[in-house]
Every structure is written in structure tokens, then in C-alpha cells.
């Protein structure tokens, strides 16, 4: 492993940054309508500044019928009234900047809302100038329009059902990889791309500092010369074909990302931060997407580790094997060690909360939360903290389907029941484990009514454990999960080895202990994490070199010992 060159010391700012994701609907409500909003976010910036994060990623706040909670946009240059106004946005951005933080917007351009004027025009007639802005195709040959299987391809939507809907007005089908109210844009059309680049430049001119790009690796579809699209393989027990091989990391994706970079990001004094959400992306793909020399994106969100407890699908839950997790993270650390850069996340608005998923949200909630945080934040890459993760908020543990709001969860429940794939109890159990709503319950600010999120009726229920788990109880408590996150984030800001050090996995076959070393210019950190609720021995190769090392951070009040870990213990030792 080459010694870090001078270049390393001028690594991009985001290699030592920590990003905080805000899901506006559930963050803080300022006007009592039960829905979080921009003024609510502004009222909580002290919390984020105290935490020490560098960047705020805002999930969508644009005008939207909210069919998929804002990821279905009807006007890219307007704020949805439920979140506030453009003036509220400008005030929030100015406040964020005045506190030395940056703000990144969510760019949702694989699809729009079906209420976006572009789609309203496109569906209005076969020869509308915007017809080719979306994917319209005729009924499958020799099939009756609207009949099961008559769709142009057999692809399933991510939200259950087919990925095509017949539009009676013109008798053609349109493609929607997500809900039928999220028609996919046709990026083959240069007018579509030009419009999107102009919209992005509009937000950058307004002062935003970058974009998180929603399912950006789905924008290039594998369309054949004759304009047709291939069917997908129908996996065992599946109702539809798997289209992902035909739209995931498609043939023109690199071309589009490089064009976007030229048209939107190139030549700016301060390079905007760009992170591409890319379900199904591989390490080799990611090296190409994040190689600075290729000018595509700074980093990607990959999904391998959040699929390790998936069986046939995400709702078929299997226990995590720690060796699988280490194998996956180890491959991504090694694969992007020389070229490219990793993002690091456990939680976001699409994943159940990690302390309930890979930790223990009962007896050892705080210890398992801080151990998981330590292991993640000490890897090489940019960490993302999802709202509430810094408080060790847990899954919702809903017991009734009536409590759920997420279109993916509700559609899955309805489809599985309708096709007799499972009974209500089994489905409710899998939703309790994996539903996206687990991440979307309101942030727990204090022990007052509705956890201080709203003075009204929240759009989704507050987790009843808010009296015990809330920000107010943790801000001034040096032993709290919140205070531990502050220390972890501070470590990345003050220790170059954390941001830029090489990564070496240890104990790859150990099913209980996660262990690795980070090293930079003679400084070495040993990171240990116990993924179980039982004490575990640690047998390190050449353990003696760590005798006399200094404990940099640990999640027990008294420093432990390198050769044995207490339940859910995390330790970070430094030498040199
Ligand atoms: O998510 C894309 C995506 O991969 C998720 O749908 C994921 O597969 C699933 O939720 C895991 O269960 C992005 C956004 O993050 C998500 O909120 C949107 O629903 C989706 O795109 C469509 O915009
Ligand atoms: Ca509100």
C-alpha cells in the first residue's frame, strides 16, 4: 500500500465530512398541521450544529401530490405548500450557510409525477411534442389491451404490480418503475436532459451545495434498435419479470453522467457534492462512477449491506451473518482504496432502523447503537447519519396495517394477500421488520406530547418510546448516544487517519467481532466491535503491538481490554 502522497493532504472536503439526512415530513412541524416543514427544520439547526455535521441532505421538498412522499415531483422549481415556500427555503439555506454547514438537495429525475405538466402534455395525444419525453409503448403483440400480460414488457414495479400502465386516452402503455403516478422520463431525448440540467443550474444558482441523485443508475434503459425493450427473467415465486438487468446501470449511463457534469458542475469555484443512489451497483461499476478523472459523481449509495438480511425479497427477512457484512464492506473498502470513494450508511428513509435491525433495541439499545456507529464511521468513506439515528431511535413496531403510510409497504401487503402469498400476521411481522415507515416516524425531540414534533396530529404515529428516547434528554448528557455521535464526528474532523487512512480487515471469519485497522503515515487505529449481546474473546494477529496503545473512544464508561469485548462493546485504539 503506497504512502499517501501530497495529493492526499489536499483530498476533497467531503472526505472528512459527515452528512445528515433530513426527511422533512417527519423532522419538525412548525405550524401544527402534523407534517414536518422547512421552518421546522430551521428551528432545529442548533441540534445539527451541536452534533457537528457538515452537510444536510434534504429529502424532496418540491411540489408533489405526495404519492411516494415527495419522490413524485410535479414542479421541480416550487416548494410543496405542505413544506412551505421558496422564501422559507432561501431563509433556511442562508441559516445553514451562516452556521458553516452545506445543504444538498434530492434530485429525482428518473421519473416525475404523473401530475407534472410534462407528463400531462405527453399523455394528451400520440403526436404531442412531449410524447417522447416518457416511455410510451403499444400493447404486446397479439394481446388485448389491459389484459394481464399485455404490458410491453413483463417487468414488475418496485411498488408491486406491473411496471406499465395502459392509458385509455391513447391506448398505449407508459413505463413506471415505481408507482403508476411516477412515470419514467426518457433520457434518450436530449430535450429532457437539457431541461433537467437547466433546473439543476437553477438550484445551484440559488446557493445549494450539491445533489443526492435518486435511482440515478436507472435513467438509461437497454432499448433495442427497434425501440422495443426486453422482458426480464421471472424468478421463482415472482409475479413479474426482473427488469433491473435492463435498466440498472444501462448502456448510456456513463455518457449521461459525464454530460451532466459538463453541463452543470464543471468550472465552478467550489465543486458541488454529488452522490448517486444506485441500487444494484457493483464495486467495479462504482470505481468508474466515482473516479475523479471520469467526472461523473463523487460517491454512490450501494445496497449490498442493506440486502444481507433479504431472502427472496426484502420482506422475506433472514438473520444477518456478520461474516457476510464484513465480506461486503471489505470488498468495497478494498475496491475503492486507490480510485473512487465510498459512502457509508446504515440508515435512511428507505431502510428500517439499524439498532432494531443489526443491533438490540431493547436491553442494549444504546450500546449496540454506539457500536454500530463506531464501526461504520471509522471506515474509509463519507458517513451519512439519518435523522434520529444519532438518538438511537428504534423501529416503529406497528401492530396494525392502519398505522402504515408507505406506498411500498401498503402495496406489498395488498398484493401478497391478494395472491395468497402470506397471511396478515406473517405480512405484519415482515413489515414490522422491513417497512420504510420504521424510519419515518417523527423525530423525538423531547418528552412532551407528540415528542415535541408537532402541536397537532402527526401524519404518522410517534413511537411511544419517545418519553425515554429523545434529543432533550441526550443533548447535555455526556454518556448519551447523541454525545457519542458528536465525539465520532469530531474524530473524523481532527484525525486525518480516519478520513484518509488505509483500511485492513481483521478476523474476517469471526461471526461475533468486527475488527479492522486504519493507518496513515505511521498512525494506526484498531477498531473493534462486538455484534453480540455476550462477551467475546478477541484473538488479534500480533496483538502485542497494541499493548500500550491509547483508547481513543469506547462505548463503555471504563476502557476495556483489546483481547475481550463486553456485550456490544466498541473500542478504538491508537498507536504511533
Ligand atoms: O429509492 C430507490 C430504491 O431503491 C428503493 O425503492 C428501494 O429499493 C426500496 O425502497 C427498498 O425497499 C429511491 C428513494 O430513496 C425512495 O424513497 C423512492 O421511493 C424511490 O427511489 C423512487 O423515487
Ligand atoms: Ca407543518
Which of 109, 112, 158 most suits a substitution to test ligand 1, by most atoms within 8 Å of the C-beta?
A: 158
Give, for ligand 1, the residue of 22, 180, 348, 350 to mutate: max count of ligand atoms closer than 8 Å to Cβ: 350
Centroid of chain to Cα 495: 26
Work out which ligand 1 atom sits closest to the CA atom of 177. 22
Active site residue 277: yes
Q: Which residues contact 134 (CB under 8 A, 6 or more apart)?
A: 118, 119, 122, 123, 174, 175, 183, 184, 185, 186
What pLDDT score was predicted for residue 10?
74
Radius of gyration of the chain from Cα atoms?
Answer: 24
Question: Which is the closest atom of ligand 1 to the Cα of 158?
Answer: 6
DSSP 335-398: HTSSSS-BEE-S--TTS--HHHHTS-SSTTHHHHHHHHHHHHHTSSSEEEEETTGGGT------
Residue 361 CB contacts under 8 Å (≥ 6 apart), including other chains: 353, 355, 368, 392, 394, 395
Outline where DSSP puts E strands in 190-231: 210-213
Cα angle: 314, vertex 318, 324; to 5 degrees = 100
pLDDT at residue number 1: 41
Q: Cβ-count burial of 220 within 10 angstroms (0-12 exposed, 13-18 middle, 19+ buried)?
A: buried
Q: Are 72 and 62 in contact (CB under 8 A)?
A: no
Whether 468 is catalytic is no
Whole-number Å distance, alpha carbon 31 to ligand 2 midpoint, is 5
Check 54, 106, 184, 277 and give the catalytic one: 277
Q: Which residues have any ligand 1 atom within 6 Å of their CB?
A: 68, 71, 108, 158, 178, 214-215, 277, 279, 314, 349-350, 408, 436
- Here the cell at position 96 is 445553514
Please give the average pLDDT of every successive group of 10 residues along the chain, which has 576 residues.
54 95 98 98 98 98 98 98 98 98 98 98 98 98 96 98 98 98 98 98 98 98 97 95 98 98 96 97 98 98 98 95 98 98 98 98 98 98 98 98 98 97 97 98 98 98 98 98 98 97 98 98 98 97 93 95 96 96
Specify the pLDDT at position 2.
Answer: 47
Amino acid at each position: 500500500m503506497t504512502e499517501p502522497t501530497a495529493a492526499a493532504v489536499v483530498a476533497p472536503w467531503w472526505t472528512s465530512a459527515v452528512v445528515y439526512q433530513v426527511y422533512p415530513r417527519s423532522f419538525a412541524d412548525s405550524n401544527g398541521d402534523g407534517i414536518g416543514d422547512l421552518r421546522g427544520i430551521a428551528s432545529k439547526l442548533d441540534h445539527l450544529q451541536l452534533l457537528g455535521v457538515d452537510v444536510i441532505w434534504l429529502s424532496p421538498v418540491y411540489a408533489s401530490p405526495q404519492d411516494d412522499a415527495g419522490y413524485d415531483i410535479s414542479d421541480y422549481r416550487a416548494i410543496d405548500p405542505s413544506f412551505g415556500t421558496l422564501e422559507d427555503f432561501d431563509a433556511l439555506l442562508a441559516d445553514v450557510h451562516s452556521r458553516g454547514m452545506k445543504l444538498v438537495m434530492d434530485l429525482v429525475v428518473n421519473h416525475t409525477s404523473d401530475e407534472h405538466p410534462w407528463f400531462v402534455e405527453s399523455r394528451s395525444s400520440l403526436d404531442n411534442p412531449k410524447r417522447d419525453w416518457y416511455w410510451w409503448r403499444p400493447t404486446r403483440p397479439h394481446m388485448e389491451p389491459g389484459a394481464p400480460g399485455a404490458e410491453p414488457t413483463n417487468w414488475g414495479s418496485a411498488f408491486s404490480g406491473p411496471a406499465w400502465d395502459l392509458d385509455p386516452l391513447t391506448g398505449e402503455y407508459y413505463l413506471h418503475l415505481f408507482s403508476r403516478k411516477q412515470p419514467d422520463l426518457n433520457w434518450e431525448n436530449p430535450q429532457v436532459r437539457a431541461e433537467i440540467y437547466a433546473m439543476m443550474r437553477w438550484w445551484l444558482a440559488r446557493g445549494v451545495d450539491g445533489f443526492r441523485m435518486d435511482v440515478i443508475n436507472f435513467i438509461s434503459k437497454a432499448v433495442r434498435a427497434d425501440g422495443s425493450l426486453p422482458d426480464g427473467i421471472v424468478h421463482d415465486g415472482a409475479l413479474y419479470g426482473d427488469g433491473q438487468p435492463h435498466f440498472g446501470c444501462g448502456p448510456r449511463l456513463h455518457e449521461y453522467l459525464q454530460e451532466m457534469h459538463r453541463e452543470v458542475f464543471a468550472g465552478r469555484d467550489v465543486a458541488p457534492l454529488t452522490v448517486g443512489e444506485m441500487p444494484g451497483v457493483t464495486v467495479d461499476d462504482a470505481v468508474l462512477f466515482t473516479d475523479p478523472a471520469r467526472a461523473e459523481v463523487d460517491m454512490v449509495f450501494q445496497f449490498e449491506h442493506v440486502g444481507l438480511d433479504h431472502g427472496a425479497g426484502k420482506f422475506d427477512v433472514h438473520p444477518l451473518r456478520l461474516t457476510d457484512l464484513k465480506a461486503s464492506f471489505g470488498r468495497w473498502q478494498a475496491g475503492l482504496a486507490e480510485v473512487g470513494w465510498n459512502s457509508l450508511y446504515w440508515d435512511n428513509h428507505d431502510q428500517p432502523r439499524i439498532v432494531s435491525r443489526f443491533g438490540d433495541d431493547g436491553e442494549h439499545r444504546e450500546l449496540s447503537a454506539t457500536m454500530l456507529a463506531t464501526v461504520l464511521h471509522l471506515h474509509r468513506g463519507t458517513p451519512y447519519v439519518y435523522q434520529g439515528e444519532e438518538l438511537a431511535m428504534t423501529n416503529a413496531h406497528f401492530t396494525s396495517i392502519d398505522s402504515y403510510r408507505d406506498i411500498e409497504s401498503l402495496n406489498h401487503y395488498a398484493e401478497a394477500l391478494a395472491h395468497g402469498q402470506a397471511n396478515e400476521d406473517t405480512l405484519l411481522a415482515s413489515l414490522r421488520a422491513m417497512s420504510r415507515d420504521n424510519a419515518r416516524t417523527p423525530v423525538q425531540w423531547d418528552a412532551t406530547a407528540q415528542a415535541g414534533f408537532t402541536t397537532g396530529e402527526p401524519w404518522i404515529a410517534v413511537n411511544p418510546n419517545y418519553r425515554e428516547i429523545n434529543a432533550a434528554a441526550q443533548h447535555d448528557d455526556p454518556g448519551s448516544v447523541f454525545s457519542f455521535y458528536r465525539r465520532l464526528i469530531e474524530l473524523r474532523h481532527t484525525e486525518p487517519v480516519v478520513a484518509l487512512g488505509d483500511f485492513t480487515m481483521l478476523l474476517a471469519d469471526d461471526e461475533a467481532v468486527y475488527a479492522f485497522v486504519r493507518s496513515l503515515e505511521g498512525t494506526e487505529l484498531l477498531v473493534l466491535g462486538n455484534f453480540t449481546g455476550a462477551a467475546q474473546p478477541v484473538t488479534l494477529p500480533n496483538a502485542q503491538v497494541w499493548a500500550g496503545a491509547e483508547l481513543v473512544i469506547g462505548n463503555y464508561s471504563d476502557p476495556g481490554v483489546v483481547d475481550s469485548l463486553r456485550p456490544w462493546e466498541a473500542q478504538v485504539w491508537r498507536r504511533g
